[in-house]
Amino acid sequence: MTATRHGKGRTERAALEAVHAARAAAMGAFALLAESRCPDLAARLELAIAASRASGFLPERIAIPAREVTPEGGLPIRVVENPRRVDPNASAPLPPLAGRAFCPLCDFPYAQMVLPVELAAGSFRAAPSPARYTEADQWTLATRRHLPQRLEGDAAFAGLLAAMCDLLTEAPGMLAGFNGVGAGASVRGHRHFHLLACPDPGIFPVFRLPGEGVLGGAVRLSGTREALIGRIVALARSWRACGGAEATENLVLLREGEGFRALYVPRRTDREALSGLPGIKGGFLEAALRTVVLKHAEDIAAFREGRLAAGELDRALASLVPPEFAAWAEAAIAQGEIPTGD
């Protein structure tokens, strides 16, 4: 490398560092303002949405069509049409600082107002989500530091679950969902989960049914924070022992009375795509909440015209269930890890 190119590189890096520093200062000012105006977390989260909308990062609130269809002899499926995503003009990311790869969270645009969230289980940042998965407001809760999304060991699972529970306690009326690597996770580099405003959990078919136990490819549990964390950690351990390197999962948590309701969904990394719906990955919405988000115009047209029928959507969701699931669940029920009563 020549001396001239060195000099140019240094100038560019200094300019980029200045831009990143200014971005960080703007975020800090927003966070302070949000803190001073809104003592509770739910209100601060809403303010981050409002500010991201005012900046042009998020589109105006629009009605996103959602309809329920029921396959013959099956459980209802919620179908969401996802017609609009983030404004590309407001979402151009900063180039990454020299010496590290692009990170969609560290290099987020100015226009996305990100809130620091301090939980006993760790320091997080809440970013209003640029994707419009449902009509509800949504955020990505990501660890402040870079941490792998893949959860290895009981402590990693317990830590993530504790963070999800604590966040739901501080910000009621929300639903927290986790996508493992190869199970719908899209952000690399930061361990993260998603938060949806969910004043009425009954919009999701699975929450209209009482009880615990196996339903489709999901395990339904409820209980107090500590009891639930312990049970899910045990299930994850047993699923990892069964599925090996391909084992991954989705998790969903919701407040219920003084405790929580949870869905643990064992997945395989080689079964991430919804069969028959090219380009659609199965995350917690699909695998746990039986919600199919159609984002391609041709899928939306096919659904509206009745060419994409309930039976086909049901088969697409069923394709996410690992072949080992039934045997694993049977063994877990026999061991008392999964309750049978409902």
Q: Which chain residues interact with Zn ion by CB under 5 A? A: 103, 105-106, 189
> In the bound complex, what is the minimum distance in angstroms from residue 155's beta carbon to Zn ion?
22
Residue closer to Zn ion, measured from CB, 71 or 116: 116
Using the minimum distance from each CB to Zn ion, give the nearer residue, 90 or 187: 187
Give the shortest CB-139-to-Zn ion separation in angstroms. 16
Minimal distance, residue 100 CB to Zn ion, in Å: 8
Q: What is the rounded distance in angstroms from the CA atom of residue 328 to the CA atom of residue 217? A: 11
Residue partners of 223: CB distance under 8 A and separation at least 6: 231, 259, 260
Which long-range contacts (C-beta less than 8 Å, at least 24 apart) are formed by 224-231?
Answer: 224/258, 224/259, 224/260, 225/162, 225/165, 225/259, 225/260, 227/259, 228/161, 228/165, 228/259, 228/260, 228/262, 229/158, 229/161, 229/162, 229/165, 231/337
**Which lies closer to Zn ion via its Cβ, residue 189 or residue 266?**
189
Beta strands 291-294 and 77-81, pairing class: parallel
Which C-beta is closer to Zn ion: that of 56 or that of 104?
A: 104
Minimum distance between the CB of residue 102 and Zn ion, rounded to whole angstroms?
Answer: 9
Of 191 and 231, which CB lies nearer to Zn ion in the complex structure? 191
Closest CB to Zn ion among residues 76, 122? 122
| Whether 71 contacts 311, CB under 8 Å | yes
Report in angstroms the alpha-carbon separations of 154 from 27, 157, 161, 200, 240: 34, 5, 11, 32, 11
* Cα distances (angstroms) measured from residue 269 to each of 172, 184, 192, 262, 280: 32, 9, 18, 21, 14
Bridge-based pairing of strands 213-215 and 247-256 is unpaired
Q: How far is the CB of 104 from Zn ion (least distance, A)?
A: 8
Closest separation in Å from C-beta 72 to Zn ion: 46
Cβ 105 to Zn ion shortest distance, Å: 5
Q: Which is nearer to Zn ion, 105 or 292 (CB)?
A: 105
Q: What count of Cα atoms within 13 Å lies in the side-chain half-sphere of residue 233?
A: 17
